Each structure stands twice: as structure tokens, then as C-alpha cells.
Amino acid sequence: MITIKGLKKEFGDFQVLQGLDMHVRAGEVYGFIGQNGVGKTTTMNILAGLSQPTEGQCLIRGKDITTVTHPGDLGLGYLPEEPRFYPWLTARETLLYLSEVPSDDRVREILGWTGLAEGADRRVGGFSRGMKQRLGIGAALIRNPDLFILDEPSSALDPEGRSGVLRLIKDLKDMGKTILFSTHILADVERICDTVGMIDDGQMVFEKPLIQLQVEHTQPVLDIVPMVPIPPHVADTLSKLAGVVSLTESGGSWALRVTGPGVSLAVMSFLAEHRVAIESYALRKTRLEDLFLQEVCEK
């Protein structure tokens, strides 16, 4: 559905994208992750036809997007990071205005799907951020495109708002749509994505199906919360213990990536030997967030 080869984008002397490659298959949900300022929004703006690439090739359904003169001709649904609506229009009027072939039935259907049926005749200026985000997804769907580009759709929303937006993305996937969405909430990616691509310094760090990523990179992690801080020399020795791959501390809690579940026994024995009392202890698999942090730290 989307193929990007060697994409470069410069703003003056600053090169945001430095030869990005990306491949999004039809019908999948693609999670585009990366730190702030690494080029996610720039990539999405280029794909939406809102910005021109400096170099490289962007194909949507096999067609080079630089040959398309108007963003609307790309036939995709785009949701910017912070969708801006006319505050004096109601939700219904907004969708009717954005329709290619205005239809009350279609607008009613979308308002119902986005959970905005009750607020359909309220002015958008009084909407919460979550409602605006849902209206934005509805607006992207109004022309019934097969491809959606959603820039941080669930960011800055409360848990309920996030859950609502993720439900809409899942629904779009069930409708057979292709969705490329960027986020820095990695738990959302794990919940709904088929493929994950991580960008850093304007280049793709990895791009793999989520299942493959989990199989290749999943390692047991021991989450330990000690009752008293672990002395530095003990932590240093612990990191060198056989079977311990890495050791990170965050807010008094320690995460130990280990080679296998059996190592946990050796770790507990070691801590007991050094009289480190444990408040809680849990063995889990690595999350995407661990992988993200590892990749960022390695860079």
C-alpha cells in the first residue's frame, strides 16, 4: 500500500529525514514509533501530500505521490496530531462540509460510529480533546478511503479517550482499511498493531511484524522493588552475575533482563546473601517499551 525508498527531507540546513525506507502492506495496522522530533510527523505530512520530499520515492498504491498535485487526490484519510475544526460549526455541519458527496445518512452513520451522535448538533468549539480526536477520525473516514494516516491519534488523551480512539482504529482494521499511525504510547502499539517501524535520526531502525519482534526480542525481565536502595557495589556485581543481560533502575525499581526464568533464583539468592530485602518481585516478558529504550540507549 505504501512504499518509501530513501526518503530525505531538509528544512534549511536541518535534515529531518535521512534516507527513510518503509513498507506498509494493505489491510494492516502499522505502528510508527520513535522519539519526539525524529521525523514521524514530517514523514506523515509527506505521505499526506502536505509537504514535498527533498529526495527519495514515496509510492501509495504504486503511484508516486509527487505526481499528485492536490493532497485530496491521494484518496486517503488523514488525521493531524491536533485536528483543528471550525469552532462555530456543529459536528454534523463539519462532516457535511468535508463530504465529497454530502449525505445525511453517511454523516449520521459516522457520528454514531464515533460516539458523537448525541453531540451532533453541538458546536465543535465546546468539544473535549477526545471528542475532537474522534470527530477527526470520522472526518478522515467521510470519503471512505482505504488508507488512513493518523498522527498521534491517542496521545494527550485520558485513558477513556485513548481506549475510544483505539477501538475506532480496530474497527477500521475490521473494515479492511490500512492504517499507519504514529504514537509514543508503546502499549497502544502492542494492543492493535500488526507491524512496527521505529524511526530514529530520520532513518528506520527496525521494521518488523509485531509477532516476529516479540519472538526475536522477548526475554524474561525481573522487576524488583527493594525495600532499601541497593548499594552501588552490589548493583555492579549483580549486573555481572551469570544470566543477567542488563540492569536498569528507574524510580527505585530495578529491571533485570535475564537469559531465562531460571536465573531469577540465582538473583534472589544473591540479593539475600547481600541482605537486600525485597518489597516486590515479578517475572515478565520484555515489552516494546524495553526494546525501544534499548535501541535508543544503544544509539
Residues that bind other proteins (CB under 8 A): 11, 41-42, 45, 48-52, 69-73, 76-78, 80-86, 88-89, 93, 96-100, 102, 136, 139-140, 142-143, 151
Among residues 32, 66, 28, 36, which one has the least CA distance to residue 50?
Answer: 66
Q: Are 9 and 16 in contact (CB under 8 A)?
A: yes
Q: Return the C-alpha cell found at 247.
A: 540492569
Query: Of the two residues 139 and 224, which places its CB atom closer to other proteins in the complex?
Result: 139
91, 135 Cβ separation under 8 angstroms: yes
First to last CA, the chain: 30
Residue partners of 75: CB distance under 8 A and separation at least 6: 143, 145, 146, 147
Q: Which residue has the cell 515489552?
A: 287
Give dist(CA 116, CA 255) in Å, integer: 42
List residues bridging with 125 in a β-sheet.
none
> Measured from the CB of residue 219, what is the shortest distance to other proteins in angstroms?
37
> Nearest approach, Cβ of 233 to other proteins (angstroms)?
47
Distances (CA, A) of 122 to 83, 108, 118, 119, 132: 17, 14, 8, 5, 12
Give least dist CB 69 to other proteins, A: 7
Chain position carrying cell 529531518: 16
- State the Cα–Cα distance between residues 233 and 54, nearest whole angstrom: 51
Give which of 4, 21, 17 is closest to 62, Cα–Cα: 4
> 68-105 burial by CB neighbour count: b if 16+ within 10 A, else e?
eeeeeebebbbbbbebebeeeebbbbbbbeebeeeeee
Shortest distance, position 100 Cβ to other proteins, whole Å:
6
